[in-house]
Chain A
Amino acid sequence: MGRKILFITTDQQRFDSLGCNGGTVARTPTIDALAHSGIRYTRAQPQNVVCMPSRSTMLTGQHPSTHGVWMNGVPLPIDAPSIAEDLWRSGYRTALIGKAHFEPFLDPFLRFAENRLGRDERATEYTRDENGTEVPHRGFEHLALSTHGGAGPFHYARWLANNHPEAVQMYYQVLDGAEMQVNATGGGDTNAPQVKVNPIPRDWYHTTWVAERTKDWLASLESDADWFCWMSFPDPHHPWDPPQSELHRVNWRDLDLPAGFIEDRSELERVLENKPRHWKAWWEGKFYSNFEPPRRWVPSTLTADQTREVNAMAHIMNEMIDEAIASVLSKIDERGWGDDVDVIFTTDHGEFQGDFNLLFKGPYHVDSLMRLPLIWRPAPSAQIAPQVVDNPVGLVSLAATFADIAGLERPEYVEASRLPVSSGDANALGHEQTLTEWDSVMFGKIVSQRTILRDGWVCSVYGKGTMHDGTEGELYNLQNDPLQRENLFDAPAHKATRDDLIAALWASQPPRQLPLRECDAPV
């Protein structure tokens, strides 16, 4: 019997949302306790700041250029490598419960398994490999899928429609009815975009459902089974519509504005103008490059109170996630597995949540979107000492980490070493930098960005595109400028640093799959 793996992800969660990372609003005692007894990474970075590419990186251990999911809407190839498949082949029981999103959500032709499975209420589907072995979908023998609401073909939506049909419409309507764009409609007390007071009972909410289905699956296993369970909460991704019964937890009126919110409008404009011009153009509502934020929402309309209310909603969602995790860990202890379970907690990317007076995400490689919570609580039986690791590490290291926990060789397809268990281990494994990519093409609007983080700096360069001529970039000193307000890319005093970082960036680029795979949906 080996070590079991509970891999917990959230969606669009900021580093500073957790108590263990300095958060002061949401109470997250369960995750904080995991951090206290495990390894807390202070510089965990995604390889892309939207869902599908980032999740594909977690599963494959590859950068987006390699696995080919270069933007949302591009499906991960069905024959892409999968660490879940490797674990399944080695005898692990495997499940993914919650949000998968390796394949597009919007799929009226039901071309993709994730959408077919929910509609047909099946746990997986099998394909035959070259040796004739029946292999479950991406290596998961059990999938119970959900997304951010009650609509769509996923298992949660079917469960809600079958058991509580009156609740389906309680959620915020993610797409607007006319244009099928991400909805800009506001709600709550402040008319903030994608905020809604949701009357759904807590027991019917997707966070609860994900935890309950996880417990059900764990309960179905033999006591001596080795297992890998990816428990994937859709929150705190927008829409911000947690159950109304939970709103008492955080009163938005009591919140301070986030440190990244700039109240002085002239200072805000100065900061934005100091960055490549798509920043200010989006803020002004003049350039819309991707499907992540609502098309009809203009960021410059964001008020301080709306920012507070969005933050309050996110904090509430995060508290609920923490409590859901506690209930699953309790079930694991009940089964007698507590000493043999590794728990890894992270998210796919961050969220502006008011930084630079913006919400949502896009081609903006700053800490708001790129600094992620990442905690690894090794199985107590492994006797690995608690640590705080400040070296840069990427989500690209997760696949190798799962293999290592399971006692497997590092897969040939992965592009990064396992996560380190200490700073010394990080140095030995070569964790000195991370790479992050952005590419988007939306009806002729093109943005391409490559970023490196190392030596306390983050440096981005832009390719030729709709808003960029290929000479633009961003350079921030993370120590001196933790909010990344001063872009030093063109500062003569930092030219040598910039040039060294750019050289390292290009020298480290993974091979790129060309031609780019087609985008089959907006998300």
Chain B
Amino acid sequence: MATIRRHIFIDRPAEDVWALVGRPELLHEWFPTTGTKLEGDKRWIYLASGITFEEDIVTLDHALRRFQYKIVNNSIITSHLGTVDVIDDPHGGCVVIYSTEMEPEVLGLMVGGAAGAGLQKLKQLMES
């Protein structure tokens, strides 16, 4: 089981960052995907390579500022849980933590890489 964690400090209050991260239909605005579709608790994300991930939204907790999702109905990914937390820091900014547990483990590295790029873009968007 791969366990991946990426994080970034953003010089904006957690509620401002959550205003984007907490809207799962807007993932493509900060994560390296080409499109997002949301229907109830289901989400589909579209990758530049042509791959589509079907996901179940597990948690969308606006009080805790936590989003969790699972990639489902995938012929290769047999187990997955992704978690995004947005947490206030003591200096008026926040830290965003993107965690992934998944099988096969090697794919976790690529999701982790995308998460790292996504967090960088999120910081850029929020601080610009």
Contacts and interface: CB of A to CB of B under 8 A. Distances in A.
Interface string A167-193: 000000000011111000000000000
A522 B4 CA distance: 13
B24 interface: no
Given A108-B49, A109-B49, A110-B49, A520 B109 contact: yes
Interface in A169-223: 177-181
Contacts of B82: none
Interface string B66-87: 0000000000100000000000
B38 interface: no
Given A107-B49, A109-B49, A520-B110, A443 B6 contact: no
A73 interface: yes
Interface in B88-106: 104-106
B125 interface: no
A180 to B, nearest CB: 5
B57 interface: no
Nearest to B48: A110
Nearest to B117: A111
A180 B104 contact: yes
A519 B109 contact: yes
Given A106-B110, A521-B109, A180 B76 contact: yes
A178 B2 contact: no
B113 interface: yes
B126 interface: no
Contacts of B47: 108-110
B64 interface: no
A119 interface: yes
Contact of A119 (B32, B49, B104, B105): B49
Interface in A95-114: 104, 106-111
B107 interface: yes
Contact of A520 (B33, B48, B51, B113): B113
B113 A111 contact: yes
Nearest to B108: A443
Contacts of B3: 443
Q: Which of A109, A111, A119, A521 has the most CB of B within 10 A?
A: A109
Interface residues of B, number: 21
Contacts of A284: none
The A interface, classified by DSSP as helix, strand, loop or mixed, is loop
A433 to B, nearest CB: 34
B25 to A, nearest CB: 19
Contact of B106 (A115, A291, A518): A291
A115 to B, nearest CB: 8
A77 to B, nearest CB: 13
B99 to A, nearest CB: 14
B22 interface: no
A180 B104 CA distance: 7
B1 to A, nearest CB: 9
A116 interface: yes
Contacts of B49: 107-110, 115, 119, 153
7 closest cross-chain pairs (CB), A and B: A520-B113, A110-B48, A522-B106, A109-B32, A180-B104, A179-B104, A109-B114
Given A104-B110, A107-B49, A180-B104, 8 more contacts: A107-B110, A111-B117, A153-B49, A178-B76, A178-B104, A179-B104, A520-B113, A521-B109
29 contacts: A104-B113, A108-B47, A108-B49, A108-B110, A109-B47, A109-B48, A109-B113, A109-B114, A109-B117, A110-B47, A110-B49, A111-B113, A153-B49, A178-B104, A179-B104, A179-B106, A180-B106, A180-B107, A181-B104, A181-B106, A443-B105, A518-B112, A519-B109, A519-B113, A520-B109, A520-B112, A521-B106, A521-B109, A522-B109
